[in-house]
Amino acid sequence: MRTSQFLDRYGPWALVTGASDGIGRAFASDLANRGLNLILVARRAGILSEFARDLRLRSNIECEVRALDLGDSKALLDLCKEMSDRPIGLLVAAAGFGTSGAFLQTSTMDELDQIDVNCRAVMALCKTCAPGMAQRGRGGMVLLSSIVAFQGVPRASNYAATKAYVQTLAEGLAHELSVQGIDVLACAPGPVSSGFADRAGMRLGATVSTSIVAQETLHALGKRSLVRPGFLSKLLGYSLMTAPRSLRVRIMTQIMSGMTAHRRSS
Ligand SMILES: NC(=O)c1ccc[n+]([C@@H]2O[C@H](COP(=O)([O-])OP(=O)(O)OC[C@H]3O[C@@H](n4cnc5c(N)ncnc54)[C@H](OP(=O)(O)O)[C@@H]3O)[C@@H](O)[C@H]2O)c1
């Protein structure tokens, strides 16, 4: 899609969560290059403000910052209320985090927070942006799923379950909202080089860059409802696709065991 067509279809504003780092930041950068005005959401105000200033200078766009915790109910609802009046043509829901290790030992508060940020906030923002998009008869939503979304993943059971929620939400909305002119896309990467793994206590092997994830995903937007960016996610995704679910869980047990081997005692 040419830049002017992209802008017509998904402009004038994009709301990008998780924009201070990793995949969300790469999306924001790519969207700025395409001329969309941006509202950047994450908790770290300083990083967001500096990034917004760079994007304004570099791409001559309008760029606003909302520094807040999406796991905080009040902050989330305030953001939704404010955004419901804004002409958001594209939502990129990239904020999220993972946990890993023995379920018996992870923190209950972290697991609950993960459900709030990875699932609750994503659904609330879809619900906020959809009515305006439907009214205008155009728009898009990119929801960050993962390769772990398609089966249970021991030692990251709750994280995988949050991504299964996002994947299922995106699949349903893609079908339901297409008649309103809204393109919904689930983005299911494999390992990506970002701050994610450190925060999740995982060690990744081969990774794909955040810019490839953004680039392949925005290329797929409007063409299909699922994109697997990067070689590894395609290889794993397509080779596991026909395997019985129980076998996929066993394979994921091995993969996650390798990713958390450095914390074997936990
Ligand atoms: N990296 C991978 O290997 C991988 C693979 C598949 C899927 N994904 C998914 O991709 C998404 C982005 O991951 P990433 O790799 O970009 O991770 P990342 O580098 O750790 O970035 C996560 C982003 O989310 C924001 N965030 C986290 N908790 C938040 C909260 N409570 N409120 C507001 N913002 C919050 C962070 O900003 P602040 O810290 O400033 O709040 C940061 O901007 C996640 O949903 C993840 O599940 C990642």
Q: What is the pLDDT of residues 76-96, one digit of tens each?
A: 999 999 999 999 999 999 999
Q: Supply the pLDDT for residue 145.
A: 98
Q: Does the pTM exceed 0.75?
A: yes
Residue positions annotated with a catalytic role: 159, 163
Closest CA to 94 of 203, 194, 11: 194
- Residues comprising the chain, all counted: 266
Nearest CA to ligand 1 atom 23: 18
> Considering only CA atoms, which residue is closest to atom 17 of ligand 1?
196
Average pLDDT over residues 240-258: 91
Q: How far apart are CA 126 and CA 142, in angstroms?
A: 10
Predicted confidence (pLDDT) at residue 209 exceeds the cutoff of 70 = yes
- Cis peptide bond upstream of 12, omega within 30: yes
**When comparing pLDDT for 3 and 135, which is higher?**
135
Give residue 213's pLDDT: 98
- What pLDDT is attached to residue 265? 58
| Residue 230 in contact with ligand 1 by CB distance below 6 A | no
Task: List the domains of the chain with CATH numbers.
Answer: 3-263 (3.40.50.720)
Tokens 């994007």 belong to which residue? Answer: 55
Question: Who has greater pLDDT, 154 or 2?
Answer: 154
Q: Which two tokens stand for residue 178?
A: 């297409």
Decide if pLDDT at 219 tops 60: yes
What average pLDDT does the segment 183-191 reach?
97
Q: What confidence category does residue 232 fall into, taking pLDDT thresholds of 50, 70 and 90? A: confident
| Mean pLDDT, residues 175-182 taken together | 98
Ligand 1 near 38 CB (within 6 A)? no
Residue with tokens 């594209």: 90
As a whole number, the mean pLDDT across the chain is 95
- CB distance 36 to ligand 1 below 6 Å: no
Write out pLDDT tens, residues 4-52.
Answer: 899 999 999 999 999 999 999 999 999 999 999 999 999 999 999 999 9
3-state secondary structure of 13: strand
Taking the alpha carbons of 39, 41, 44, 47 in that order, is the dihedral positive or negative? negative
| Three-class SS state of 90 | strand
Quick one: pLDDT at residue 262? 84
Helix (H, G, I), strand (E, B) or coil at 41: strand
- Which of 97, 141, 146, 227 best tests ligand 1's pocket when mutated (most atoms within 8 Å of CB)? 97
User: How many angstroms separate the CA atoms of 26 and 37, rounded?
Assistant: 15
Query: Measured from the CA of 20, which atom of ligand 1 is nearest?
Result: 43
What would the two tokens of residue 54 be?
A: 């760079």
Over residues 159-166, mean pLDDT? 98
254 vs 23, more confident: 23
- CA of 224 from ligand 1 middle (Å) equals 24
For ligand 1, atom 33, the nearest C-alpha belongs to: 42
d(CA 26, CA 45): 17
User: Is residue 266's pLDDT more than 60?
Assistant: no
Which residue's CA is minimally distant from atom 9 of ligand 1?
144
Mean pLDDT calculated for residue range 118-144? 98
Give the position, in ligand 1's atom list, of the atom nearest the Cα of 207. Answer: 3
